[in-house]
A and B are shown apart, each in its own frame.
Chain A
Amino acid sequence: SQQGEEDPQALSIQEGENATMNCSYKTSINNLQWYRQNSGRGLVHLILIRSNEREKHSGRLRVTLDTSKKSSSLLITASRAADTASYFCATDARDSNYQLIWGAGTKLIIKP
């Protein structure tokens, strides 16, 4: 079952702008991860944030986690054409029998 919901479903911005994607989930989690997928390719892990962390950075990526609102956001700063991809959140929920629960994904298009 899918507990993650992501918004927006699609996002189109100009190169150089910042892109923000959101992920909401329903149950308590151990951690939340973000993945990127270029069209027709495998998924690439971007960042993992644990339930006791509120913010994490990796290069141009900034992830926040609000466990009280059961939500996370992924911010990509100074976007580039190469950032065009689908972005998925995945939660390691405490009652999921060790299954990752995936969000529906956000399709990000960076216009040159």
Chain B
Amino acid sequence: DTEVTQTPKHLVMGMTNKKSLKCEQHMGHRAMYWYKQKAKKPPELMFVYSYEKLSINESVPSRFSPECPNSSLLNLHLHALQPEDSALYLCASSHSRANTGELFFGEGSRLTVL
């Protein structure tokens, strides 16, 4: 069982759709992350939200936009995605700011873009 909850587990969307991935943690962690993972590859960091500050991997296209309604929620809004964006999207959280300790991952949201 994971203490980081991601919904939905699976999502299929067309290239003109707008959808959102949701992530929630109740561990009181102050940093949350979105990672993208393609098959047989390591995860790639997309966004970090830590102490109310958002850090963005500059290679992430603008069709992905994060939103942090409060310290326990981190959403990922998806708009006008491409088939190559199909991947496993992983949310994670950590006690300390910005990747200096153990990450707690959710089970992931499997995204398919048609």
Asked whether A2 is an interface residue with its Cβ less than 8 Å from the other chain, the reply is yes
How many A residues have CB within 8 A of the partner chain?
24
Determine if B42 and A42 form an interchain contact, defined as CB atoms under 8 angstroms apart: no
A-B contact count (CB 8 A): 55
Asked whether A25 is an interface residue with its Cβ less than 8 Å from the other chain, the reply is no
Q: B42's closest neighbor in chain A, by CB? A: A102
Q: Which residues of A contact B13 (CB under 8 A)?
A: none
Within 8 A of B (CB), among A50-104: 88, 92, 96, 98-100, 102-104
Q: Could you tell me which B residues sit within 8 Å of A by CB distance?
A: 2, 4, 40-43, 45, 48, 88, 90, 92, 97-108, 110
Starting from the known contacts A41-B108, A43-B105, A98-B100, 14 additional A-B residue pairs (CB-CB under 8 Å) come to A2-B42, A4-B42, A42-B105, A42-B108, A43-B90, A45-B103, A45-B104, A88-B43, A92-B100, A98-B98, A99-B45, A104-B41, A105-B40, A107-B40
